[in-house]
Chain A
Amino acid sequence: MRHDIRSFATAAALVLLASAPLGAQSFKTPWGDPDLQGTWTNQTLTPLERPAEFAGKPVLTEEEARAYEARLRQQNNADIRTPGTRRDVTVAYNDVWWDRGERIVADRRTSLIVDPADGRIPPMTPAGQARAAKARAANAAFGDNPAAPEDLDVYSRCIIRSALPRLSTGYNNNYEIVQTPGYVAILQEQIHDTRIIPVDGRPHLAGTVRQWLGDSRGRWEGDTLVVETTNFTDEARGSTFRDATRNMVLVERFRRVDAETIDYQFTVTDPDTWTRPWTVKMPWNKVDGLLYEYACHEGNYGLANTLRSARAAEKAAEQK
C-alpha cells in the first residue's frame, strides 16, 4: 500500500538521524559494546594536586599553560646535574632514559584532582594520619639499610609498580585495552600485569581473597565503562594506594571521547583514611606504538645490591 512505502522512507530517515548524531564518531566493537581498544598512555606533566602557586586557579590560559610546560620540562630534565647531592643519585641517569611527558592535560587544569574543588587531597582521618606516620617512621628506621626484602616497598621488590589507581610515573606509562564479549582486559606495561574485568554482573570475590591489583568488576553505563575494584591487600609496604587501607574502594570510569582520547576518571573512597572521597580526571591518550615486555623480578639486581650494601655498611660500622 502506498502509505507503507512513504512511512518506511520517513521511518528509515528518522532511524538514521537518531542513531548517528551529527559530528560524532561512534566507537563500537563488532558485538556492540563501546570500543576502548588500543594502546594508551596516561603520561602527563599535570601534577596530582594543585600547586600552591595556582591556588584558586583551576585552569590556566593557553599562554600560561605553555610557559608552565616549558618550566616543568626544564625541571624534569635529568641531564641537569646537582653533583654530590642525594638528588643527583636518585635522578640516576640521563634524560634519554626518562619519559616524564611533554604536555599538561589538554583542558589545562592545574591539578588532576577535580574533586575536592581546591584540587588537593582531602584531609586524612586521625587513623589515616597515624598509619602514614608509622609507615614514615618504619622507613626512617632502616634508612638506606633494609634488613630484608620486606623492608622495601613493592616497587623495589618488583611485585607491582604500583598499587591501583596508577598515576603517571617516570616512564613506561603504557596500557593496552583488549575487549571480548563479557570482558575488558587492561594490560599494564609495568609490571606486565593484566587486569581482567568481567562485565557480566557477577559478584566480587570473597573478602578473604585479597589481590595486589584488587578484584575488578565492570559494567556499561551508556558509553562509559564503570569499574569497581575492591579486595586490596595491605600485606606489604606500598601495597595500598597512598597509605589507604585494604578496604579502599576504587571506582574508575572509561569513556572513549574520540580516536585519540579516553576520558579516564577515578574516585577513591576509604573512610578509614580520608575524610571524604576524592576524584581524579586524567585523559588516556593514544600511543602510536606498542607495549614492550617489562620483566622486573627476573632482572632485579638492584634489590640484591641494596641488601648487600646494607650488610657491608653494617660490617663497616661494627669495625669502627
Chain B
Amino acid sequence: MQMRVAGLSIALSTAMLATALGAAAPPAQGPPGAAPPRLQGKPNLSGIWQALTEANWDIRAHQARPGPPQFGALFAEPAGVGIVDGNEIPYQPWAAAKQKENFARRWELDPEAKCYMPGVPRATYMPFPFQIIQGTNKIVIAYAFASAGRLVHMDKVEDSPADNWMGWSRGRWDGDTLVVDVTSLIDQTWFDRAGNFHSEALHVIERYTPAGPNLIQYEATIEDPKVFTRPWTMAMPLHRRQERNAQLLEFQCVPFSEEMLYGQLRKGAN
C-alpha cells in the first residue's frame, strides 16, 4: 500500500512540477496542414501559405492582356481587381512616366524573368507558396520562387551592413498581429510584372493578422519618398495550403534564366 501511494504521489508530483516549471506539454500535432496551436502566448503563423490574387501581373485593377503572341493564351495575363487601397499608386510625375516605360519593356526588364529574388512585398503575392517557420526568437519565411528567403528578427539586431534583395526584417507583436518592419531593400526589384517600381529608400511595414485557423489577413504599407508622393497600402488574404502532403518545393529557376541572360555568349551563337 505504501508503494502504491508513493507511485501515485510520484505521478502527481511530476505533473505538479511540470506545471510549476511552466513546461507546456507538446502541442497535439494535427494532420499535416492543420493550424498549429498558439505558441508562447501568441498565434503560431507556421505553415505553408499562398495568396490567391492576380497581383503579380499587376497590383492595380487591370483587364486581361495578351502574352508573347507565339505562346497563344499560355502566358496571357488575367484581369484582376487589384490589391492597392484606393487603386492608386501615388507616383511622383517622373516616376509615373518611368513606370509606363517599364511596362512597355516588361518582358525584357522584369527581374522575375531573370529569376532574381523578388523582394518584399512582391514575394508574398507571387502565385507560388511560401512557408513560415515561427521559432522562439526568429521567424523564417521561405519562398518557393528562386529559393528566396527572409529571416525576421524578433530579437534586437544591428542594422544591415548592406542593402539586400529581400531586405532586413525586424518583427514584433501588436496583439495577435505580427508586424514586420523591412528596411535596407535594394532598388532593383519590382512590385509586379507591370513595371511598378521603387527606389532604395523603400520602407515596407507588413502586418500579418490571423483571421481563422487557415487565413491570414496581410497588409503592407509602402513608403518611398524618392518615388511616391505619400505612403500607400495594399492588402490581401493569405490562404493555408491544406493538402494532406503539402510541402514547399524548390522553384530553382536560375538554370531556366540562363538562356535569356547568357544565350548570346554561348559558343556558336554569333
Which residues of A pack against B, CB within 8 Å?
Answer: 3-4, 7-8, 10-12, 14-16, 19, 28-33, 35, 37, 147-150, 157-160, 176, 178-183, 185, 187, 191-194, 196, 198, 200, 202, 205, 209, 211-213, 236, 290-293, 295, 297-298, 303-304, 307-308, 310-311, 314
B74 interfacial by beta-carbon distance below 8 Å? no
Give the total of B residues in contact with A, Cβ under 8 Å.
67
Contact A308:B265 (CB < 8 A) given known A159-B254, A179-B135:
yes
- Please give, as numbers and ranges, the residues of chain A lying within 8 Å of B257 by CB-CB distance: 297
A-B contact pairs, 27 of them (CB 8 A): A8-B12, A8-B13, A10-B6, A28-B23, A30-B40, A31-B24, A37-B138, A147-B268, A149-B255, A149-B258, A159-B255, A176-B140, A178-B138, A180-B36, A182-B46, A183-B133, A187-B151, A191-B147, A192-B166, A194-B149, A196-B131, A213-B250, A290-B158, A292-B161, A298-B114, A298-B117, A311-B265
Is the C-beta of B63 less than 8 angstroms from some C-beta in chain A?
no
Per the 8 Å Cβ criterion, residues 1-47 of B in contact with A are 2, 5-6, 9-10, 12-14, 16-17, 23-27, 29, 32, 36, 39-40, 44, 46
Q: How many whole Å from A285's CB to the nearest CB in chain B?
A: 19
Name A178's closest neighbour in chain B (CB-CB).
B135
- Shortest CB-to-CB span from B239 to chain A, Å, is 19
Distance between Cα atoms of A187 and B141 in the complex (Å): 10
**Whole-angstrom distance between the Cβ of B9 and the nearest chain A Cβ:** 4
By beta carbon, the residue of chain B nearest A147 is: B267
Q: Given the complex of chains A and B, what is the CA–CA distance between A251 and B138 in angstroms? A: 26
Q: Does B220 contact A (CB under 8 A)?
A: no
Chain B residue numbers with a CB within 8 Å of A178 are 133, 135, 138-140, 151
Chain B, residue nearest A290 (CB) = B157
| B9:A4 contact, CB within 8 angstroms | yes
Whether B32 and A202, one on each chain, are in contact in the complex, defined by CB atoms closer than 8 angstroms, is yes
- Residues of chain A within 8 A (CB-CB) of B149 are 187, 192-194
Given contacts A147-B267, A178-B133, A298-B188, 4 further A-B contacts (CB under 8 A): A35-B136, A196-B133, A205-B249, A311-B267
Top 3 nearest A-B pairs (CB, nearest first) are: A178-B135, A147-B267, A307-B265
Inter-chain contact A176/B138, CB cutoff 8 Å: yes
Asked, given contacts A37-B135, A180-B46, A196-B248, whether A307 binds B266 with beta carbons under 8 Å apart, the answer is yes
Query: Are A37 and B136 interface neighbours, CB within 8 A?
Result: yes
User: How far is the CB of B39 from the nearest CB of chain A, in Å?
Assistant: 7
- Could you say which residues of chain A place their CB within 8 Å of the CB of B114? 297-298
| B151 partner residues in chain A, CB cutoff 8 A | 176, 178, 187, 291
